[in-house]
Homo-oligomer: A and B are copies of this chain.
Amino acid sequence: MPPDFLTVVDILGTAAFAVSGALAAMEHRLDPFGVLIIAFVTAIGGGTLRDVLVGNVPVSWLHNPTAIFVITLAAVAAMLFGSYLKHFTTTLFLFDALGLGLFTLTGLEIGMRYGLSAGICVALGTITASFGGVIRDVLLNKVPLIFQKEIYALSCVIGGSVYYAALQMGVQGNWLKIACILLVFFIRIIAVRYRLSLPRISVK
């Protein structure tokens, strides 16, 4: 059962990222091609940047028809049922938070496969999970949201660090992954629920 859980999280997370991209694009009144591209970039941008940085090419999504299918479907669904999907904000947020956890672990593992140090592995996990949203915001001409509010990347850093530490201590397996995904998930949910965010820094 656990492997199925991870596959399901992967698909739900990818779909949630794609829908969030598509809805953001629709708010900017892009045409269908633009909505599709932004959905893709949001869903695969972080993993693409990670792959390019370590040299894992052709980058993953070029060989991943499932992801392409899921993203296309999610983008089309967003275009057709945009106003309806808005009733499912909470559901989408939960899927997004699960995806955040899984993508952090995936990125971290690729860093380990390339023999990179602990901090870099955690950074690659965080990049994988969060830079799709950064590229989405850049393309939509906004200062990236995650630089400004909410504990988004921080939940990846914490979940990734715990995962890395556990692996170093010899713990491994799907249950560890699920535990770390849920850790990211709950940090994220608590942060949003209680409106926690890092203080903004400015030059006095």
| A interface residue numbers (CB < 8 A to B) | 23, 25-35, 37-38, 48, 52-55, 57-59, 62-63, 65, 68, 79, 82-83, 86, 114, 116-117, 119-120, 134, 138-144, 146-149, 153-154, 197-204
Say whether chain A's binding surface is mostly helix, strand, loop, or mixed. Answer: helix
Cα A203 to Cα B35 with chains together (Å):
12
- A31 CB to nearest B CB, Å: 4
- For the complex formed by this chain, how many copies does it contain in all? 3
Q: Is the CB of A202 within 8 A of B26?
A: yes
Q: Is the CB of A28 within 8 A of B116?
A: no
Cα A141 to Cα B144 with chains together (Å):
9
Cα A120 to Cα B44 with chains together (Å):
14
Cα A35 to Cα B201 with chains together (Å):
8
Q: Is the CB of B142 within 8 A of A141?
A: yes
- A23 CB to nearest B CB, Å: 6
